[in-house]
Structure 1
C-alpha cells in the first residue's frame, strides 16, 4: 500500500473509485465505464466514461493525500532514527511540528507524491488489468476468484513501485530533514543526483516493491468483504447480478456501485482492507524509510575524508564502499531499539 503517500493514495483512489479501490493513492482506497463516449461524458448506456472515472479517482486521491499528509510526516519522523524518542504521541508530534516548523511543516514532502499520483494510478490501473487478463480468458464474464484478485493486485503493486520508489525517496528526504533546514523537491533531487548519481533515485526499490505487494491483500480483503456483504443481503443477490463485462479496476468499481451495496458498506470494506494491507507489510515500510533516509558512506564528502586518512583516491573509496542492505538495516534496528521498532509509526498510518 499507502501510499503511503502516493502509493497509498493510489490504493485509496482506486478503491474509492470502486468505492479509490486502489492505493494510498490502489496505492487505493476505496462497473462498467465501457462503450463509446458521447459529448456529455457518458457512454452509450448512460454510464460514466472511464476517463471521467479515472479523473475522479485522481482528484479523490489528491484530496486524500493532502488530508493525510500531516500524519504521513509524523509516521516518517517516528521511523527515522534521528527523531527516535522525540515525540510521545501522534497528536503531540503534530503540535510539536507546528510549533517548530509552522503549519507548512505538516506538509513537507507533499509535492513529489502530488505530482506523481496520476501516473501511479495509471500504472496500477493498467498493470492490474494486464495481470487479470493473464489469468482469465479474454471473453470471460465470470467473477474472478479471490486468488486471482490477490495476484493481480500484488503484481500491480510491484510494477507501480518503479515510480513509487523514487517519489517516496524524495518525500522521505524532505520529511526527515532537521526542522531548521528548508528543503525543496528540486533541491533534494539535485542533491541525490550529485552525491549518488541516477541510481541513487532508486535506493530502496527492492524494499518498496516488497512493501507494495500489499496491494494483493488489499484487493483480496476488499473484494472478500464486498462478496460477504452481498451474501448477507436478504435475499442474497442473484448470480446474474455478478456477471462481468470487463476486469479492469473501473469495471469492478462500477459493478460495485450498481450492486446494491450502500456507501457505508463500500467504505467499511475499503477501510478494513487498508488496515489489513498495512499490517501485512508495515515492517518493510519501516525498513524502507530507514534505508531511504540514511546517508550512504559513499557521498563525495565522506569519500574524500576517508581517502585523505587512508591515502587512497576518492574513486577507490567509492568503488569499495558497501551500501547498506535491507537485512543490515533491519538487523541493526532490532538490535538497537528492539522488535517494536518494526511497527514505528503504525498509529498515525492507521489514523491517516
Structure 2
C-alpha cells in the first residue's frame, strides 16, 4: 500500500518487513519452541512484548519513507480524480512533467500527509489482534483474524486520515497559479464550515480504509503460498507469538526462510489487491472532499462564487434562501457513474499502483 492511509494515506501502509528489533531465541520448555527475549535496549516491556510506543514509532518511520517516494504520484492521482482537471493530462508521467513545469518541485509535494497515520495503524492492529487471541496462545493467527485486525485498524486510522486527507486534497486540487498552505486551508475550512467540516468524507474514508483487511490477508496468504512452493515446503514457524504486533510478525518473517524478493513480491501483490478492492470508494471520497460545499444559503436571485483555494462556495443572496445540498457518497457515486461511465471508478489507478 501507499503512505496516504492506503493511503493516501494514504490508502496506505507498507507491511514492515524492513523493521525488526534485536532478539535472541532461547529454549522455552525443551519442546523445540523458542521465545524471544528482550535485549535490554528498551524495546520491550519486560515480558517479551513490543511496547506500543515502538509500534507507533516504527509506523511513523515507515510512513515517512513512503511519503518521500510516493507523494508525487499521489498528487497526480488526486488530479485525475478531480473533475476540473479531467482531460488535462495524457499519462502519469506527462502529468508529472506538466506539474513540475507549471508548479516547480513544490507542486509535486503539495499536501504531504502525516506519517503518524501509519503509526496509528501499527498500534491499532496490535490492539485488535490481542482482542482475538489468548496471551498464552502459541498458534499462528488465522487469515480471518488477520483480515479483521487489518480492517479494524483502518477504521480507527480513518479518524485521523479523514481531516488530513481533506486538507491534502484541497491543496492538491487547487489551480496551479494558486499558492496554498496547510494552515491556510485549515483555517478556511473551519471558518466556512466549522470544526465538523474537517470530517467531510469520513464515511467514505472509513469504507476505503477497510482495505487494510484485504491487504494484510493477501500478504500473509502469499507468504503461506511461497512457503508451500518451496522444495521441500518450509515447516510452519513454531516460535511463540509474543504480543502479535506487526514488528513481531516482521521478525518471524525474517527468520522464516523466505527471501527478500519473496517478501517484497508478497507486499506488492497485497498492495495491488487492496487498492483494487476499494479504489472506487477512494475516487468518490476525493470528489466529496474537493467538491464545493458551504454551510451558507443560496437564493433564487443570488450568485455563487467558488474559492480557488479550497473549492468552497461563497453565496451572495438577494431574496429567499434555501440550504445548500451537501455531497453524500451515494449521490456522488451515482452521479459520476451516470455522467462519466464506469471507468470513472478507476480514475487515477495508474499512478496509484506505480506509487
Name the TM tier (shorter chain): 0.7 to 0.9
Q: Which residue among 221, 224, 228 is the counterpart of 2:221? A: 224
**Change in 2 beyond 3 A, CA 1:241/1:261:** farther
**TM-score, with length taken from structure 2:** 0.84
Q: Which residue of 2 aligns with 1:27?
A: none
**Change in 2 beyond 3 A, CA 1:146/1:238:** same
Moved more, 121-130 or 1-10: 1-10
**Change in 2 beyond 3 A, CA 1:84/1:38:** same
Offset of 1:46 from its aligned partner? Answer: 11
Offset of 1:152 from its aligned partner? Answer: 0.9
Q: Which residue among 340, 343, 346 is the counterpart of 2:343? A: 340
Show the 5 A alignment for 1:224-243.
Answer: 224-241=221-238, 243=240
**Distance of 2:212 and 2:224 partners within structure 1:** 18
Q: Which residue of 1 aligns with 2:118?
A: 121
Q: Residues 56 and 123 of structure 2 are in contact (CA less than 8 Å); yes or no, is this contact kept in structure 1?
A: no
Q: Which residue of 1 aligns with 2:25?
A: none
Q: Which residue among 260, 267, 270 is the counterpart of 2:264? A: 267
**Distance of 1:42 and 1:128 partners within structure 2:** 18
Offset of 1:33 from its aligned partner? Answer: 11
**Change in 2 beyond 3 A, CA 1:233/1:244:** farther
Offset of 1:322 from its aligned partner? Answer: 2.5
Offset of 1:103 from its aligned partner? Answer: 1.6
Q: Residues 151 and 216 of structure 1 are in contact (CA less than 8 Å); yes or no, is this contact kept in structure 2?
A: yes
Q: Which residue of 2 aligns with 1:84?
A: 86
**Change in 2 beyond 3 A, CA 1:33/1:239:** closer
Offset of 1:93 from its aligned partner? Answer: 0.6
User: Which structure 1 residue ranges, 5 or more long, are not aligned?
Assistant: 19-31
1:259-317 Cα deviation digits (max 9, x unpaired): 1111111100000000000000000000000000111143479587463232x4xxxx4
Offset of 1:51 from its aligned partner? Answer: 5.6
Show the 5 A alignment for 1:13-28.
Answer: 14=16, 16-17=18-19
User: Which structure 2 residue ranges, 5 or more long, are not aligned?
Assistant: 21-33, 298-302, 305-312
Q: Residues 141 and 246 of structure 1 are in contact (CA less than 8 Å); yes or no, is this contact kept in structure 2?
A: no
Name the count of aligned residue pairs.
Answer: 327
Q: Residues 33 and 250 of structure 1 are in contact (CA less than 8 Å); yes or no, is this contact kept in structure 2?
A: no
**Distance of 1:143 and 1:332 partners within structure 2:** 45
Q: Which residue among 188, 191, 194 is the counterpart of 2:191? A: 194
Q: Which residue among 129, 137, 159 is the counterpart of 2:134? A: 137
**Distance of 2:226 and 2:332 partners within structure 1:** 42
Q: Which residue among 109, 112, 120 is the counterpart of 1:107? A: 109
**TM-score, with length taken from structure 1:** 0.84
Question: Comparing both structures, which one devotes a greater share of its residues to helix?
Answer: 1
**Change in 2 beyond 3 A, CA 1:54/1:230:** farther
Q: Residues 201 and 285 of structure 2 are in contact (CA less than 8 Å); yes or no, is this contact kept in structure 1?
A: yes
Q: Residues 59 and 119 of structure 2 are in contact (CA less than 8 Å); yes or no, is this contact kept in structure 1?
A: no
Offset of 1:134 from its aligned partner? Answer: 2.2
Q: Which residue among 60, 64, 67 is the counterpart of 1:65? A: 67
Q: RMSD over aligned Cα, in angstroms?
A: 2.8
3-state SS of the aligned residue for 1:239? coil
| Segments ≥4 residues shifted beyond 6 Å | 40-50
Q: Residues 173 and 188 of structure 1 are in contact (CA less than 8 Å); yes or no, is this contact kept in structure 2?
A: yes
Q: Which residue of 2 aligns with 1:26?
A: none
Q: Residues 17 and 251 of structure 2 are in contact (CA less than 8 Å); yes or no, is this contact kept in structure 1?
A: no
1:30-52 Cα deviation digits (max 9, x unpaired): xx996546258689999998866
Q: Residues 227 and 233 of structure 2 are in contact (CA less than 8 Å); yes or no, is this contact kept in structure 1?
A: yes
Q: Which residue among 148, 156, 159 is the counterpart of 1:159? A: 156
Q: Which residue of 2 aligns with 1:25?
A: none
